[in-house]
Amino acid sequence: MSMDEIYFTPASEEHLAREKRKARELRQSQWWKNRCGAAQCHYCGGCFPPRELTMDHLVPLVRGGVTSKSNVVPCCKECNNNKRDLLPVEWKEYLERLSQG
């Protein structure tokens, strides 16, 4: 199945609002500040100033993901923008297609 064929029913507005609220709270935690302090993007491995790293949900909120320590990673804005609402397996397929290029 290609990325153009992917179809899913987005999560409810209530789910998105609740999880985004939890994400705002988690961004303020010492745990998250320590994660960003490593200054490395989870996806590309690039080094970035901690303030430039964004919070990405491995399983995107719109796909039913939740804001939990096991589902969020720091990543650069470019990777976050490219990953969008892809699941980890879809992201891996996307990167493989890019490398075959």
**pLDDT value at residue 6:** 59
In this model, does residue 48 exceed pLDDT 70? yes
User: Helix/strand/coil (H, E, C) string of the chain?
Assistant: CCHHHCCCCCCCHHHHHHHHHHHHHHHCCHHHHHHHHCCECCCCCCECCHHHCEEEECCCHHHCCCCCCCCEEEECHHHHHHHCCCCHHHHHHHHHHHHHC
Structural domain for 56, as ranges: 10-100
Q: What is the pTM of this model?
A: 0.86
Report the CATH number at residue 45. 1.10.30.50
Instruction: Please state the rounded mean pLDDT for residues 29-38.
Output: 97
Residue 20 lies in a domain: yes
Number of domains in the chain: 1
Q: Over the chain, what is the mean pLDDT?
A: 92
Under 8 Å CB-to-CB from 27, ≥6 apart: which residues? 55
Question: How sure is the predictor about 98, in pLDDT bands with cuts at 50, 70 and 90?
Answer: confident
Cα–Cα dist 29/43, whole Å: 22
Residue 22 lies in a domain: yes
Of 71, 69, 75, whose CA–CA distance to 39 is shortest?
A: 75
Question: How sure is the predictor about 1, in pLDDT bands with cuts at 50, 70 and 90?
Answer: very low
Instruction: Please state the rounded mean pLDDT for residues 27-47.
Output: 96
**pLDDT value at residue 10:** 86
